[in-house]
């Protein structure tokens, strides 16, 4: 009983402290949205990292700004900057790390709010990245700052990072940092990634992915005499036809025990990301006509999402076998296949310490049972697991996943406050323990 009373008292203190910072949480989220960190190409990364550094230095965090030189997209014009802020407590203990990506996708059309104004309306903050995931970043900062203000001599360490390029694979962010040892199990023990998965859900991991390029080859000729050439686009059409006949039905029959959301993603899927063939698209101001040519090359990019029950080599061989079947049936069929990148599925155990701590935080803060989910797409947990070899990692944060990358993206203010409480309770649980 004494143990439970002590935990309850700490949680009540955290609740009051976070409630007193509500306006600060809103202002912080607005400030982050107003830094337009569009990726591609990777704008204003240094600016947002410096903003976070100044903010967290005031709470006693030691700060490192780290450029991932030589990673995809890194250049003098668009350097890949990351920030890691670490605060040691008063005595030894584990390190809890909150990791958020700083980049956002392009705005697109259809907005009724300025995408970079951080407008507050009807209890919501609107803007590109509000949901995915600057609201989560702000909530994790306020959770950590509230905890530090109450118990500055806590055991262990707290880290908060803002990392680059998650929206384009994370290779200039978490992947590079993990390769440098910043996510090694000796340095960090628990990781929470505040992605927008809804405030009552714990995301244990994600499906696997393989991106690949398929090229078909032909022979150029005059368009009035196509029989003298060999149309690469027709060859690619045969590839698509075989996908429709054999591959897509086979993928629909593969189902997983992973709790993937939404339900449609509990099977294997493949998306044809892009298709190009023949002459390049003309410039918008070109008013002429195309020339009469038989296309000698066509190119397709595929995005294959696979399940924990499948193996990467099996996924690759599935596509190669399909291409070989087409080759056997079509005269002159030639192709190239290149795997662009591949990431295996990952799923943290439901018994992992960080899962249990966030479960207890949700029950205490929200008075409901947590729901375990798995993401249909990947996020930076892939690098923490695969490169960092750190398994005690989940995604948990405010926001509605379906709003990510949409016009009029928003995050609810109450949801941010509630998620900040959950994260603070989990932080207390992992550092102070249940005693």
Q: Which of 162, 201, 122, 33 is nearest to 414 (CA)?
A: 122
103 is catalytic: yes
Helix (H/G/I), strand (E/B), else coil: 282: coil
User: Which is catalytic among the residues 17, 74, 103, 385?
Assistant: 103
- The runs of H, that is alpha helices, within 116-170 are 135-150
Contacts for 397 with CB less than 8 Å, ≥ 6 apart: 133, 135, 136, 139, 140, 193, 194, 195, 196, 197, 199, 419
Helices (H) and strands (E) in the chain, counts: 11, 16
Q: Is the peptide bond preceding residue 133 cis, with omega within 30 degrees of 0?
A: yes
Contacts for 392 with CB less than 8 Å, ≥ 6 apart: 189, 190, 191, 348, 352, 353, 354
Note whether 375 and 206 are within 8 A (CB). Answer: yes
Half-sphere exposure of 340 (CA within 13 A, CB side): 16
Note whether 391 and 104 are within 8 A (CB). Answer: no
Helix (H/G/I), strand (E/B), else coil: 122: coil
402 is catalytic: no
Contacts for 118 with CB less than 8 Å, ≥ 6 apart: 29, 30, 31, 32, 33, 34, 125, 126, 127, 130
User: How far apart are alpha carbons 329 and 238 in whole angstroms?
Assistant: 10
Residue 176 backbone zone (phi > 0: left; psi -120 to 50: alpha; other: beta): alpha
User: Which is catalytic among the residues 74, 159, 165, 166?
Assistant: 166
Helix (H/G/I), strand (E/B), else coil: 135: helix
What does the block give as tokens for 3?
Answer: 């143990």
Catalytic residues: 103, 166
């Amino acid at each position: 009983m004494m143990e439970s009373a002590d935990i309850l008292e700490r949680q009540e203190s955290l609740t009051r402290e976070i409630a007193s910072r509500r306006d600060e949480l809103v202002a912080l989220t607005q400030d982050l949205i107003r830094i337009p960190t569009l990726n591609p190409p990777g704008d204003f990364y240094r600016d947002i990292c410096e903003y976070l550094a100044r903010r967290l230095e005031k709470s006693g965090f030691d700060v490192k700004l780290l450029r991932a030189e030589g990673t995809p997209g890194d250049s003098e014009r668009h350097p890949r900057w990351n920030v890691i802020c670490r605060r040691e407590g008063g005595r030894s203990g584990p390190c809890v790390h909150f990791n958020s990506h700083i980049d956002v996708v392009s705005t697109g059309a259809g907005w009724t709010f300025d995408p970079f104004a951080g407008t507050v309306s009807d209890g919501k903050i609107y803007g590109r990245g509000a949901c995915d995931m600057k609201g989560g970043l702000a909530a994790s900062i306020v959770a950590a700052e509230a905890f530090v203000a109450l118990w500055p001599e806590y055991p262990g360490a707290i880290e908060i990072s803002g990392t680059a390029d998650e929206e384009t694979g994370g290779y200039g962010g978490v992947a590079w940092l993990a390769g440098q040892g910043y996510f090694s199990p000796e340095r960090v023990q628990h990781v929470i990634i505040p992605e927008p998965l809804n405030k009552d859900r714990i995301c244990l991991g994600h499906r696997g992915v393989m991106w690949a390029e398929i090229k078909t080859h032909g022979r150029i000729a005059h368009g009035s005499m196509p029989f003298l050439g060999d149309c690469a686009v027709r060859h690619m059409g045969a590839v698509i036809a075989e996908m429709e006949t054999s591959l897509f039905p086979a993928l629909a029959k593969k189902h997983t025990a992973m709790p993937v959301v939404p339900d449609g993603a509990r099977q294997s899927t493949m998306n044809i990301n892009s298709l190009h063939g023949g002459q390049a698209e003309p410039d918008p101001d070109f008013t002429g006509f195309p020339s009469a040519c038989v296309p000698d090359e066509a190119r397709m990019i595929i995005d294959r999402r696979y399940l924990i029950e499948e193996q990467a080599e099996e996924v690759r061989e599935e596509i190669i076998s399909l291409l070989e079947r087409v080759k056997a049936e079509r005269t002159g069929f030639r192709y190239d296949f290149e795997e662009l990148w591949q990431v295996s599925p990952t799923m943290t155990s439901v018994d992992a310490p960080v899962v249990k701590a966030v479960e207890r935080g949700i029950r205490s803060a929200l008075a409901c049972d947590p729901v375990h989910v798995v993401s249909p797409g990947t996020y930076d947990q892939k690098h923490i697991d695969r490169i960092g070899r750190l398994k005690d990692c989940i995604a948990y944060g405010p926001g509605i996943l379906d709003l990510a990358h949409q016009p009029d993206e928003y995050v609810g203010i109450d949801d941010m406050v509630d998620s900040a409480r959950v994260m603070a309770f989990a932080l207390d649980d992992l550092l102070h323990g249940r005693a």
